[in-house]
Amino acid sequence: MVRFAPLARLPRTARWAVRVLITLLALALVLTLYGWWTVRRSYPQVGGRVSVPGLGADVTVLRDRWGVPQIYADSAEDLMRAQGYVHAQDRFWEMDFRRHITAGRLSELFGKTTLDTDKVVRTLGWRRVAERELPLLRPDTRRYLDSYAQGVNAWLSRHRDTATQSLEYSVLGLQRTGYHPEPWTAVDSLSWLKAMAWDLRSNMDEELGRALAATKVSPARADQLYPAYPYDRNPVIVPNGSGGRTGPAPRARALSPALTRVAAAIHAMPTMLGNGAPGLGSNSWVVSGARTNTGKPLLANDPHLAPQMPSIWYQAGLHCRRPSAACPFDVTGFTFSGVPGVIIGHNARIAWGFTNLGPDVTDLYLERVTGTTYEYRGRQEPLALRTEQIEVAGAKPATITVRSTRHGPLLSDVMTSARTAGNGAAVALRWTALDPGRTADAIVSLDTAGNWEQFRAAARSFEVPAQNLVYADVDGHIGYQAPGRIPIRTSGDGRWPAQGWTGAQEWKGYIPFDELPSTYDPPQGYIVTANNAATGPGYPRMLTRDWAYGYRAARITELVRRTPVMDAATMGRIQLDDRNGFAPTLVPHLLRVGSGPAVALLRGWDFTQPARSAPAAFYNAVYRHLLLRTFDDELPEDARPDGGDRWFEVLRNLLNRPDDPWWDDVRTPAKETRDDMLRLALKDAEAELRKRLGGDPAKWRWGDLHTLTLTNQTFGTSGIGPIEWLFNRGPLKLAGGDSLVDATGWNPQEGYQVDWVPSMRMVVDLADPNRSRWINLTGASGHAFADHYGDQAPLWARGDTIPMRSDPATIRREAAHTLTLVPSRSRG
């Protein structure tokens, strides 16, 4: 045997130590290579040819340098099959996880930790509603849903081993063995639309928060926390009005336990579904050719949603090679993995964007329950009962009984045991999304619309969630349409929970589509929507009283007005505007009562919030502590300030009343005033930042506080460091802030970390749609460590965008990969 000479000359103990070290290094190398192989096994095939059952002809998938696919097919059905296949390639774990959410079956994967979420979803019955929706849809929509499912299942048939589907399945296998995904169905796709409706569920959280506040303070004081929309200062979308009658406040103190259980049920839902975060909304605006350098419109959109890894959006293009009535798609935009078609984007003729309209489409009904009955108009009516069994990994199945009144399921039951749910006060939820609808038809119709009339026809079917739809076309027209199923009430305005037993506050129909706000080619040459009031005080129907308060809309309008000639780059810069609209009101008060080097940061501050700003860091810390000092002493947890421009308005009103009771801290014997609270907030903020960021205020940075960690929606919060390292990315240091145009929101109760974001940004140039720009929050891929898992995130954080191509020649020229999907009869 030949011995390695240098090793042979070492002492025996040293030789032994070296051999152990070599063995450990070899083992580490083997484990690294195995881990690398395990991770990469699920990466998609992006080149060559793949046989796909069900295709009628070859389909071409061209991916650019960012992994964004552009799909070309000869038939609409093949196009949807290919979209299903490509979605599954990049995002199947996400799709599988989402359908478990919407079916209330998370506990089958994750055990008892997700049981409360499943209970909420089973109580709401999302999948049951989706099953009832499917027969209502048009035949072409149903064909596309079925074709899409066939494409997903074709991918599944080629990847039967879950280790080849996604890394998450390998991690899941450490705690739950033997799991294999079921085939995809059309109902799986429809169910995700219910989740999005929950994310954008309008004012249910305001209604609940108002009632919870009234359990601790008088209804009049609770109402102070929900000011009226400032019509005199901030814009409306269509200048007409709002109206409607105010309903009575309930006697809420006795109802506190039931209302608190409803709040707990809401918080049991995954954070990816928003949980009523006040910044959830969006910006969108459109300018006519009279205001652009090309003579054609520009359209911008950036929906604000809870951040997740991967992003909720998936960029794609869907193109019929020869568009026709039989194959009408030539559309590029943002899709939901799991859902066929494009949700937001443009086709060859029109572009469109969404923001949340936010109408009052949910009502909480206080019910008097006795045994298996509830009171209604002086009589006892039987509760509707159904039993749901929830499979739980590693434990026995859980069984719940869902009880419902004529108004909806008893949401207050979810967080209560069967033994204690029985009699007394309960809370039912009436919500438009719990009735079957035709929103899936609207997606298909939007994708294929070619003019304003067809766009409005598509909007008629967009029932839930109700959105502000902005429009532009290549002929130079711009428009706005509010769609949605919005209830008409016999009395009240939905601001407070209704007394269900009286029968006095019922829904008696829905606002006719032709009465909903709409405008076409307005004389000012632009339309701005940012969850602000859609109409003014003269509008005869009640949409809601709980709008966002118009700070973002006012700033966008100001920037559009001051720019007589705009281009796509101008639109993109507006999306990144980070001026704080409330700071000019609060800062003079802070300068009046405060002094010192930290307060000096605010002198001459331009009220913008870039990541490197020291004044922004100090101001937001003061704002946070002012909210905590002023309100947390009297309000229950679920009614405390959580950010948003509603609190801008609350403080604006209180700053004019220095002795208002809200300023007094009821936990102290003294009676504090406005200036006392301002001084205490300045002191608290300076102490916090000196501890966190150092003793020199000039070196404080907003981005050091205001960070975003892109957290995987499943294993990203596992509590196991190495697993979180596998799936999470960041932190990113961000500009922007709460209720700014660059709406990187945060919750004062929890700190400065970002909890909602512009989930994507898009600017469409109708003079040449191929010059349009877009960016996703993360990337195309859902596979950890794949090149496109998070490659757009640094660009997004800097405010950069990438080309949004739609011209076939450009797409072919810039393609980094070409995959051909061929019918199964051909040789793959």
| Size (the chain), residues | 828
- In angstroms, the CA 271 to CA 293 distance is 42
In Å, what is the CA distance from 104 to each residue of 97, 117, 184, 310? 11, 7, 16, 21
pLDDT in tens, 351-391: 999 999 999 999 999 999 999 999 999 999 999 999 999 99
The predicted pLDDT at position 243 comes to: 37
SS3 8: helix
Q: How many angstroms separate the first and last alpha carbons of the chain?
A: 51
SS3 729: strand
pLDDT in tens, 618-628: 999 999 999 99
Average pLDDT over residues 425-440: 95
Average pLDDT over residues 41-58: 94
Q: What is the DSSP string of 487-534?
A: EEESS--SSS-EEGGG--S-EEEE--GGGS-EEES-TTSEEEESSS-S
The predicted pLDDT at position 643 comes to: 85
The predicted pLDDT at position 174 comes to: 79
The predicted pLDDT at position 250 comes to: 53
Residue 18, pLDDT above cutoff 80: no
pLDDT in tens, 785-819: 999 999 999 999 999 999 999 999 999 999 999 99
- In angstroms, the CA 298 to CA 563 distance is 13
The predicted pLDDT at position 275 comes to: 54
Q: Taking a C-beta distance cutoff of 8 angstroms, is the pair 601, 618 a contact?
A: yes
The predicted pLDDT at position 463 comes to: 94
In Å, what is the CA distance from 817 to each residue of 64, 334, 416, 813, 820? 7, 20, 54, 11, 10
Residue 1, pLDDT above cutoff 60: no
The predicted pLDDT at position 273 comes to: 72
For all residues of the chain together, what is the average pLDDT? 92
In Å, what is the CA distance from 463 to each residue of 254, 334, 512, 573, 620? 36, 20, 12, 33, 38
Angle, helices 256-267/115-124, rounded to nearest 10 degrees = 110
The predicted pLDDT at position 175 comes to: 74
Which of the four pLDDT bands, split at 50, 70 and 90, describes residue 717? confident
Which of the four pLDDT bands, split at 50, 70 and 90, describes residue 17? low
Beta bridge partners of 356: 467
Beta bridge partners of 369: 374, 424
Token readout for 674 is: 């406005």
Which of the four pLDDT bands, split at 50, 70 and 90, describes residue 197? confident
Q: Cβ contacts of residue 196 below 8 Å, gap of 6+?
A: 336, 465
pLDDT in tens, 283-312: 999 999 999 999 999 999 999 999 999 999
| Ramachandran category for residue 537: left, alpha or beta (phi over 0 → left; psi -120 to 50 → alpha) | alpha
- In angstroms, the CA 637 to CA 255 distance is 16
Which of the four pLDDT bands, split at 50, 70 and 90, describes residue 3? very low
Find how far residue 196's CA is from the centre of its chain. 7
Q: For 164-218, where are the alpha helices, taking DSSP H only?
A: 167-172, 186-199, 204-213
Which of the four pLDDT bands, split at 50, 70 and 90, describes residue 255? low
The predicted pLDDT at position 22 comes to: 56
76 exposed, middle or buried (CB, 10 Å; 0-12, 13-18, 19+)?
buried
Angle, helices 439-448/452-460, rounded to nearest 10 degrees = 170
Top mean pLDDT of 211-225, 687-701, 719-733 is at 687-701
Residue 240, pLDDT above cutoff 90: no
Residue 188, pLDDT above cutoff 90: yes
Average pLDDT over residues 201-223: 90
Token readout for 384 is: 């509707």
pTM of the complete model: 0.93
What is the residue whose two structure tokens read 């869902």?
A: 402
- In angstroms, the CA 122 to CA 199 distance is 17
pLDDT in tens, 482-508: 999 999 999 989 999 999 999 999 999
Residue 761, pLDDT above cutoff 90: yes
Q: Taking a C-beta distance cutoff of 8 angstroms, is the pair 47, 61 a contact?
A: no
Quickly count: other Cβ atoms within 10 Å of residue 635's Cβ.
Answer: 21
Average pLDDT over residues 536-543: 92
Token readout for 219 is: 């209804």
Quickly count: other Cβ atoms within 10 Å of residue 586's Cβ.
Answer: 22
Q: State phi, psi for 722 to the nearest 5 degrees.
A: -60, -35
Average pLDDT over residues 33-48: 72
Quickly count: other Cβ atoms within 10 Å of residue 384's Cβ.
Answer: 14
- In angstroms, the CA 441 to CA 517 distance is 21
